Each structure stands twice: as structure tokens, then as C-alpha cells.
Structure 1
Amino acid sequence: MKINALPANAVQLLRRPEIAGVYQATDDTARTLFQAGPAAGFNVYRIDLGKARNADSLHRILARGLHFPDWYGGNWDALADCLTDMSWNEADGYLLILVHAETLQAADPACFSSLLEVLNETVTAWQTQKISFCCLLTGTHTELPVLGVST
């Protein structure tokens, strides 16, 4: 289901299962959901990818920002494993906000594409457990549906 606008009560929206997905969003939408996340029982992460230029730097930034365990292997399989098993940081749902992802997209399009693939697989994996995983990439990412705040 494609969601084009958020209702005024962002907490209620986050609790709706259909919010799960990977979206492009404005800074305002990301800020609204960032603030609503904890009240919805979500663990919320805001990670700046402005220094991610390739897979190695991306994995280091994500490991630090998501507080991955020491055993994190720094590769795509390990990223998928950690994102789909947040047992060290359990919650009713997860909201991941990635800012400045366009830096990675421009520097290493294949890496960016792999990241989106892992994020979409993560959404699906959590849906099987009836837990919402929502990822917002701020800025313009035309390959992603838009999640916007209604006025």
C-alpha cells in the first residue's frame, strides 16, 4: 500500500502495519516521525550517510549508528542479519531515518542499490513477525515512494 500523506497523529500512523516500507521523505516528515517514534513504541535511529562513499564506509556508519553487536561482519549478509534480528534492542517497531543518502547514491550507485535491496528485504522479514520496520531517506530519491505529512 502506498501512503501519500500522514494523518495529524503520527503515533497512530506508526502503529499501522501498512506504514512498513522504504520511502523518500522531507526533513519535516522525518522530524515528525522521529518525534512520534518513541511514543509508538518504536526504536528510532537517525543516521547521517553524508560520509558514506562506498560499502565499507556505509557499513561502518550503519554499525555505529544502529549499535550493532561486536560480531557484525561489515558486509551485506551481516547487515541483513542484524537488521532482521534486533534482539539486543527489541521494540514494537523500528524507524530508520537516513539523511544525506544522495551522497552514497552519487558516489557508488551499486552500493546504494544494494542498500535499498537489503532495506526492502528487512521490511518483509519484519512483516512476517507482525513488526513494523520503516525506513525514510530524506531528500529526493525518485525510485522510492513518497511519504509526506498532511497539513
Structure 2
Amino acid sequence: MNKPKKIPESVLVVIHTIDLQVLLMERVDKENFWQSVTGSKDTLEESTHATAVREVMEETGIDANQFQLTDWHTQNVYEIYPIWRHRYSDGVTHNTEHVFGLTLPAITPVKLAEREHRQFIWLPYQEAADRCFSSSNAEAILQLPQRIKRA
């Protein structure tokens, strides 16, 4: 049975503490590819907020409903890496990513989805941005000081 094709609409959730420690995870399928929580909508009807809550739970074991999950009202459109295009319908080359921030009061225990990520690390936001393989992920992390001041 064929796996359903991914929807080219996803979320990026930057998980961070009040003092700007950022959670990053290393992908299983690509060594040294560090990232925040990401994931595609499961259905066209699923809201991006629901996608963010689900992906945070699946990838980290953290219940985003227990903390401050904020839609940054930012969208990034990017080309899907050729190595992952087979997951989408034929001809789909771009994805729309909706950016969220999840503010935690302090570093929180993480339970990784072992099929997706091999390890995690908490880093000061500037170091975390430097380690990300995705430029949109790094840019989102670098916005944290301004985002925290507005909250």
C-alpha cells in the first residue's frame, strides 16, 4: 500500500525558553541537519495551529497546549529539497511553511521521535541559529529577542 502524499503546507515551531535557550534536534536521515520542530499538515482541513500542537507532541513529547504557542503570522515559501520531493504529489516543488513560537518557562524534558531525530540540544539562540541547516529556521530563531519583547 502506498503512503499518502504529503501536503505542501507545513509548520516550523521554534521551541524556546524565556531566557532564549532554543531546542534543536538532529534529523535521523541527514547527519548534522539540525532543526526546530517541523511537519506537514495531515489533512487539508487541519489548521496550522493544530498541526503545530500535533508536531510538537510527536517530535518532542511536549504538550504545546500547556505553554504559550504563538502564531507569528509569518509564512516562508521554499523549494522542497529534491531528496524529499518523492513524498509529495508529482510536480510539487514548493512548500509553504507557517512559523510559530513555543515559549517554555525553563528547559523542559524532551522525548524524541526516534524515527525522525537522533539527538537534541538546548543552545543560546544565536548558537542555535548558527547550527540550523535551514535558513528560514535560522532567521526565525534570530527574531526571538524581538518576539519576546512584544509578548
TM-score when normalising by structure 2 = 0.28
Structure showing the higher helix proportion among its residues: 1
Structure showing the higher strand proportion among its residues: 2
